[in-house]
Amino acid sequence: MSTIPASPTNADSAEPFEEDGSGFWSIFDAVPAWGISVAVHIGVFLLLLTITLPEIILPELNLTSTVEPEEVREVEYVIDSTPTENLGSMSSLNIQGASAAMAQNKGLDNHQEQMEQIEQEIVNPKVELLETVSLPSEAEVLENIDLTGTTEHAGGTDGAVDRITLEIASSLRQRRTLPVWFFDESISLESRREQIIARFENVYRQLGLMDDIDTKDALKTGIVGFGKDVHVLVDEPTSDVAALTSAVKSIKSDLSGAENAAAALATALKKYGPVRRKMKANMMFIIVTDERGDDFGQDYAVLEDIVKRLSREGVRVFVIGNSSPFGRQKGFVRVKWKAEDGTEFEEDIADADQGPETPLAEGLQLPFWTANAQQLDRMSSGYGPYSLSRLCAETGGIFFIADDTTVRKWDPQVMRQYAPDYRPGIEYRKQVQTNLAKQALITAAQLAVTEPVPVPTRTFQANNDNVLREQITEAQKPLAVLDYFLERVHKALEVGEKHRDKLDTDRWRAQYDLAMGRILAMRVRAFGYNSVLAEMKSSPKRFEKSDSNQWMLDPSEEINAGAEVRKMSAKAQEYLNRVVEEHPGTPWAFLAKMELSEPMGWKWRESKVVIPEMNQGPGGRRPQFAPEEEARRREAQEMQRKKESSRPKV
Confidence of residue 407 (pLDDT cuts 50, 70, 90): low
What is the per-residue pLDDT for 370? 76
* Conformational region of residue 314, where left means phi above 0, alpha means psi within -120 to 50, and beta covers everything else: left
Confidence of residue 81 (pLDDT cuts 50, 70, 90): very low
The neighbouring-strand residues paired with 178 are 283
Is 3.40.50.410 the CATH number for 146-425? yes
List the chain domain ranges. 146-425, 433-611, 615-644
Mean pLDDT throughout 506-512? 95
H helix intervals, 93-189: 98-106, 110-118, 138-143, 156-172
Cα 289 to Cα 508: distance, rounded to the nearest angstrom: 29
pLDDT digits (tens, 9 = 90+) for 24-39: 455 555 556 666 777 7
What is the per-residue pLDDT for 45? 67
Confidence of residue 206 (pLDDT cuts 50, 70, 90): confident
Highest mean pLDDT among 231-235, 255-259, 361-365: 231-235
Rounded to the nearest 10 degrees, the angle between the axes of helix 261-279 and helix 301-313 is 10
Lowest mean pLDDT among 63-67, 413-417, 567-571, 586-590: 63-67
* Beta carbons of 380 and 409 less than 8 angstroms apart: yes
pLDDT digits (tens, 9 = 90+) for 445-475: 988 777 778 888 899 998 888 989 999 999 9
% the chain with pLDDT above 70? 73
130 has a pLDDT exceeding 90: no
199 has a pLDDT exceeding 90: no
H helix intervals, 280-375: 301-313
What is the per-residue pLDDT for 48? 63
Mean pLDDT throughout 198-213? 72
What is the per-residue pLDDT for 68? 45
Mean pLDDT throughout 381-397? 93
One-letter identity of residue 260? N
Q: Which long-range contacts (CB under 8 A, 24 or more apart) does 133-141 make?
A: 138/413, 139/413
The SS3 of residue 347 is strand
**Which of 592, 518, 600 lies closest to 553 in space, CA to CA?**
600
Cα 477 to Cα 534: distance, rounded to the nearest angstrom: 12
Highest mean pLDDT among 323-327, 380-384, 500-504: 500-504
pLDDT digits (tens, 9 = 90+) for 87-96: 333 444 333 4
pLDDT digits (tens, 9 = 90+) for 132-160: 334 334 343 333 333 445 788 878 888 89
219 has a pLDDT exceeding 80: yes
Mean pLDDT throughout 113-131? 48
Confidence of residue 569 (pLDDT cuts 50, 70, 90): very high
Mean pLDDT throughout 184-192? 89
What is the per-residue pLDDT for 647? 75
What is the per-residue pLDDT for 140? 38
Q: Count the neighbouring beta carbons within 10 Å of the beta carbon of residue 277.
A: 12
What is the per-residue pLDDT for 641? 81
What is the per-residue pLDDT for 136? 39
Q: What is the 3-state secondary structure (H, E, C) of 384-427?
A: CCHHHHHHHHHHCCCEEEEECCCCECCCHHHHHHHCCCCCCHHH
Mean pLDDT throughout 515-542? 93
Mean pLDDT throughout 271-281? 93
Cα 118 to Cα 111: distance, rounded to the nearest angstrom: 11
pLDDT digits (tens, 9 = 90+) for 303-352: 999 999 999 999 999 999 998 888 888 877 777 777 777 787 777 777 77
Lowest mean pLDDT among 75-79, 256-260, 333-337, 519-523: 75-79
Mean pLDDT throughout 280-288? 95
Mean pLDDT throughout 360-375? 80
Please, what is the average pLDDT of the chain?
Answer: 78
628 has a pLDDT exceeding 50: yes
519 has a pLDDT exceeding 90: yes
Cα 620 to Cα 9: distance, rounded to the nearest angstrom: 164
**Which of 184, 153, 386 lies closest to 290 in space, CA to CA?**
184
User: What number of CA atoms fall less than 13 Å from residue 134's CA on the CB side?
Assistant: 4
